[in-house]
Structure 1
Amino acid sequence: MNIQEAHMAKTTTAAAKELTIDDLSSQIDLLKKDIASLTETLGDYGKAKSDEMRDNARAAANDFAETGRAKAMEAQKQAEEFLQAQPGTALGIAAGIGFLVGIVTARR
């Protein structure tokens, strides 16, 4: 190998290193953009799931509230039917509950 060939080889190697460094730099920039895009996408996904879970929780709460109202109305209806069917027993139960509440509160 003569001096000219050695110089050419060095120049080619230096150019290849520069090209490789430029390629790496552009790939790193592209990777940064991809990571930023992925982070944004994950954030959007998390927000969408959060909104979906909030909506599901609200729907479940509304269902529970409606079920509770229906049960309360049914209990009230049964209590009214009991009062109409057995007024004496209902009065005795009410007096007993009142007596117990009086005892508990009087001890304090």
Structure 2
Amino acid sequence: MVSNTAKQAQEVLSADFQTLVKDTEKLLAHTASLAGEQADELRAQINESLLRARETLKVTGEAAKVRSQEAVATAEDYVQTKPWQAIGIAAGVGFLVGLLATRH
């Protein structure tokens, strides 16, 4: 459940970032009618920033995917090798959450 929530959050963040990149590309296209050396320089800088942002998003997404898969695998291994300790930890966390939820 936690991994699904994290995955959904990652997908939403990725979609939002891609939307931002697309909107910036549209803005860049609309400013194409602007003339002058400064406008050309600004468009080149924006385009370069977009390329870096895309690459960063790709690398970050891949790294997050690998880390989340490793975390899930580690948690599954721990639960399979030490089921009673996992149950105890889950019960303790549930108890603490219950205490915090009942406090006013």
TM over 0.5: yes
Q: Tell me how far 1:62 sits from its aligned partner.
A: 2.2
Q: 1:94 aligns with which of 44, 66, 90?
A: 90
Q: Tell me how far 1:68 sits from its aligned partner.
A: 1.0
Equivalence for 2:52: 56
Structure 2 distance, partners of 1:57, 1:92, is 44
Number of residue equivalences:
70
Equivalence for 2:7: none
Structure of greater Rg: 1
Q: 1:79 aligns with which of 61, 75, 81?
A: 75
Q: 2:62 aligns with which of 66, 71, 91?
A: 66
Counterpart amino acid of 2:102? A
Q: Tell me how far 1:54 sits from its aligned partner.
A: 1.6
Counterpart amino acid of 1:48? A
Structure 1 outlier segments of 4+, above 6 Å: none
Structure 1 distance, partners of 2:67, 2:98, is 29
* Aligned-CA RMSD value: 1.3
Identical residues among aligned pairs (%): 34
Q: TM-score, normalised by structure 1?
A: 0.60
Structure with bigger RCO (C-alpha 8 Å, 6+ apart):
2
Gaps in structure 2 of 5+ consecutive residues: 1-34
Gaps in structure 1 of 5+ consecutive residues: 1-38
Q: TM-score, normalised by structure 2?
A: 0.62
Equivalence for 2:6: none
Q: Tell me how far 1:41 sits from its aligned partner.
A: 2.1
Equivalence for 2:100: 104
